[in-house]
């Protein structure tokens, strides 16, 4: 177990503020255009995916989103 940090009320000395040099979140994350598709699956396939989701304790969304890269 880590030892607890003890803080004291001491002066910090000379403090220098530096300008923000990190890019904005919009510049970091490139967002690709999404394409909506309709996919028809058999009832057997749906039951399979539901059972697999239950096995892995993942949440089953009301609607499924499938990302395809073309």
Task: Tell me whether residue 57 is in a domain.
Answer: yes
What is the total count of domains within the chain?
1
Residue 66 lies in a domain: yes
Cβ-count burial 27-61 (b if 16+ within 10 Å, e if not) = eeeeeeeeeeeeeeeeeeeeeeeeeeeeeeeeeee
Please report whether residue 43 resides in a domain: yes
DSSP label at residue 2: P
The pLDDT tens digits along the chain (70 residues) read 678 888 888 888 898 999 988 988 888 887 788 888 888 888 898 888 888 888 887 765 555 555 555 5
- Domain membership of residue 9 (yes or no) is no
For residue 65, the enclosing domain spans 15-70
What is the three-class DSSP state of 9?
coil
């Amino acid at each position: 177990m880590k030892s607890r940090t003890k803080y004291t009320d001491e002066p910090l000395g000379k403090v220098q503020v530096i300008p923000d040099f990190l890019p904005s979140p919009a510049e970091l994350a490139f967002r690709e255009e999404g394409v909506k598709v309709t996919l028809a699956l058999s009832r057997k396939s749906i039951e399979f995916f539901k059972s697999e989701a239950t096995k892995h304790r993942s949440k089953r969304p009301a609607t499924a989103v499938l990302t395809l890269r073309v």
